[in-house]
Amino acid sequence: MTCAEFQKVLPYIIETGGSADQEKHLRECHVCSDLVQDLRYIAEQAKLLVPMEEPSPQVWVGIRASLEREGLVQKPARARGGLLGPQGALLWVTAAAAVVLVIVGITLYQRGPEPPAAAQRAAARPSDNSATDDDPQDKQVLTQVAQARPEMKDVYERNLKQVNASIKDSRKALASDPSDEDARTGLLHAYEQKAMVYDMATRSLR
């Protein structure tokens, strides 16, 4: 039996085994035995491939919206313990924003030529980009609103864009002149407004 003859039937015998002649060729031919070994090894490794990829959060948003439209789900009940589920997540986000606000508020009003390092770090959170694309907290809020109150998503997105723009402008002003009291006040007010937006979003889910 030649290698060509063996390999012609290989697709049909690789899993079940071949005739006596075919098996003999496999034992005696290192080219074909290496080939079979490689092909079986590829198949074995493929079985071990773990699903690594994850769909974007938008997939669940779309599923959820369709399920509600089709009447396949009821409105969600309040999450157990108040700290789990969509409302719970927003409570954490709002609490985190409030903590950031307190840190910024306390440090901003400390007199000094430059904002303390803590204030700079705190001011770095949340993102000051005018779009909400880079702020995971903003994204989380908007995702939750989109799920529960899709008609309000645009409103909250606009509000967050405006307040983020204010934060960005105030930070820019402070960076160029750390003693600018108006910029400090503006920044504090902007964070207050952002916390209010989060708070309103939380209330709208109830």
Partner 1 sequence: MTQAKKSTLPSGITEAEAIDRAKRGDAGSFEILYGLHKRRVYSLCLRMTGNTAEAEDLTQEAFLQLYRKIATFRGESAFSTWLHRMAVNVVLMRLRKKGLPEVSLEETLEPQQEDGPKKDFGAPDYALVGSIDRVNLGRAIESLPPGYRIIFVLHDIEGYEHNEIAEMLGCSIGNSKSQLHKARMKLRDLLKTSRAEKAIKR
Which stretches of the chain bind partner 1, using CB under 8 A?
Answer: 2-4, 7, 10-12, 14, 31-32, 34-35, 37-39, 41-43, 45-56, 58-60, 62-64, 66-68, 70, 72-77, 79-80, 85
Please return the burial class of 174, using the count of CB atoms within 10 Å of its CB with bins 0-12, 13-18 and 19+: buried
Residue with tokens 């990829």: 53
| Buried residues in 87-125 as b, exposed as e (16+ CB within 10 A) | bbbbbebbeebbebbebbbebbeeeeeebeeebbebbeb
- Give the nearer residue to partner 1 in terms of CB position, either 62 or 116: 62
| Dihedral sign for Cα atoms in the order 193, 195, 201, 202 | negative
- Give the nearer residue to partner 1 in terms of CB position, either 2 or 19: 2
- Give the nearer residue to partner 1 in terms of CB position, either 19 or 110: 19
Specify whether the CB–CB gap between 120 and 206 falls below 8 A: no
Terminal Cα distance for the chain, rounded? 77
- Give the nearer residue to partner 1 in terms of CB position, either 56 or 176: 56
Residue 81, token pair as written in the block: 């313990």
- Give the nearer residue to partner 1 in terms of CB position, either 62 or 150: 62
Please return the burial class of 12, using the count of CB atoms within 10 Å of its CB with bins 0-12, 13-18 and 19+: exposed
